[in-house]
Structure 1
């Protein structure tokens, strides 16, 4: 008869079984810049809490910092009490994420940039979420790197940092630099990192806990494709819409767009009115004015530079187009 109490080769009689040590926790810092996006921050920190809960041990610790310390307010008005002020000396950190929103181009805090550079010299992995990569670039920490950030910040970022390779993906992990486009993409980023740190099984468990039934890869696109955004299916119209969005600085002529669609200019106008409810010119102009509005809000470009970047001959022409749009919206 087999004796279940008999010693095995691995556990001899009189010896205690080996103790399994919990892994040392990774410390993650979150630098919250005033008006930070709460959804992106929450999507980044909650998976760490869930990983601790599901694993039954402390895999992650985290702290919060802000310029000046104290309470920092999110873009929706909610305040979070931070643990340390920016500039704190030898604070423990394996990874530090800068979470910013609003208009990161207008944020200027030399003490924050210097602190981030100091963390980088210590070998801390640095990340940016939503508009956070803009601040990493301001600190000189993305030179020669590929990065992503929220699509709303991309036009101003590309104008200011033409030498940095920007991709419109959910997140990018390049060694000791991590950038994320924000929103729910921060959840996908953290699931990827949890999988790298502690295995795909735990990452899947955290994803399932948050009812997130598909973990998206970093290279997944940020935005819905044109078919979904505009509710159109005609491949001719989709080709033209894509060409318009790719050519705002030097708008394509109606004839060039018709050639792309392989239809006459008159047929193309009909496709726009049937598919989008407006003419080709009006749609193209709206795209350019929207981009001009983004650049005005999120960059330090002059009116003349914004006009040039959106295909207008001068700042006056841009202003006239904006006034016409406002009058049309008001029904005047």
Structure 2
């Protein structure tokens, strides 16, 4: 590959601090650190440096069991950093560390740009660093995050840069974020060169959607069915009636039922119920909401109704096996 020399006179490397929490997503971490290495290799210059920290220091294990040896424990040492990114996966809502929160606030006061990747924004929000800021995080964490931190302005995008706060939904979106930052730091030519290095031939914008569109996710093309599927996902707390959904599709209820059976192989009611139960499961895992509060947030009359629906689905699953 022909080296792409940055259009800059600065010889001062930009330093990243990567804070890894137990169970951090290795895909997101690799997608963030590897572009920095590639930028240095392609140009033959020390454009970026980085260090690692974890609560308690030592080795920290990713979600797949791979361990990364960190340089310092959270709060220790005097390593400088221009940007500090927190990586968290699994159930970030269950991780509380007052020392980490205090350290992040201290770094912010010192002028560092603070970032969170995948579930990392949880830790920034818990430290009070996302109030009034636009932010994003992995779509699976969004409902619980919004319940816990109403002061943050959640955008369902790949990544968000709002002043000195950088958040990213995780996965390979971290690669798009880093290419954007490399382009901003050293010009679009280097960003394109790093993208080519990783066979990433299209750098996605931050506002690109996180998830595949409904057509791809469900393998359906009928616009009537797609409209109803979208409406269902937007109305989990107050489920729409069959009649209201049929009006959205501009068909009768009977026709709509046929569209679901033919397009998805399941009934309208079953699909909607599964969406709500999936949401309830995420809220159970990622929040401290009571069962009654989760039931209300997913359109069930009370905790008993939710529990009965969960038991029925579990029995269906057992019978299918």
Considering the TM-score relative to the shorter chain, is it more than 0.5? yes
Q: Given the two structures, how large is their TM-score scaled by the length of structure 2?
A: 0.96
Selected match of 2:45 from 57, 81, 84:
57
Counterpart of 2:51 in 1: which secondary structure? strand
Selected match of 2:282 from 286, 294, 297:
294
8 Å Cα contact 2:139/2:156 also seen in 1: yes
Counterpart of 1:142 in 2: which secondary structure? coil
- The structure with more radius of gyration: 1
Selected match of 1:323 from 286, 293, 311:
311
1:213 matched to 2:201: yes
Q: Which residue of 1 aligns with 2:234?
A: 246
Q: Given the two structures, how large is their TM-score scaled by the length of structure 1?
A: 0.93
Counterpart of 1:220 in 2: which secondary structure? coil
8 Å Cα contact 1:22/1:57 also seen in 2: no
1:108 matched to 2:108: no
| Closer/same/farther in 2, CA of residues 21 and 268 from structure 1, 3 Å limit | closer
1:87 matched to 2:37: no
8 Å Cα contact 2:214/2:229 also seen in 1: yes
8 Å Cα contact 1:250/1:310 also seen in 2: yes
Selected match of 2:64 from 50, 71, 76:
76
Q: Quote the offset at 1:161 in angstroms.
A: 1.4
2:94 and 2:75 mapped to 1: Cα distance?
20
Selected match of 2:168 from 177, 180, 184:
180
Q: Unaligned 5+ residue runs, structure 1?
A: 1-19
Selected match of 1:45 from 33, 38, 45:
33
Counterpart of 1:228 in 2: which secondary structure? helix
1:171 matched to 2:159: yes
1:25 and 1:260 mapped to 2: Cα distance?
55
Q: Deviations over 1:287-325 (max 9, x none)?
A: 000000000111111111111000001111000000100
Which of structure 1's runs of 4+ aligned residues deviate more than 6 A? none
Q: Which residue of 2 aligns with 1:9?
A: none
2:236 and 2:282 mapped to 1: Cα distance?
13
Q: Which residue of 2 aligns with 1:7?
A: none
Q: Unaligned 5+ residue runs, structure 2?
A: 1-7
Q: Quote the offset at 1:89 in angstroms.
A: 4.6
Q: Deviations over 1:186-210 (max 9, x none)?
A: 0000000000000000000000000
1:189 matched to 2:177: yes
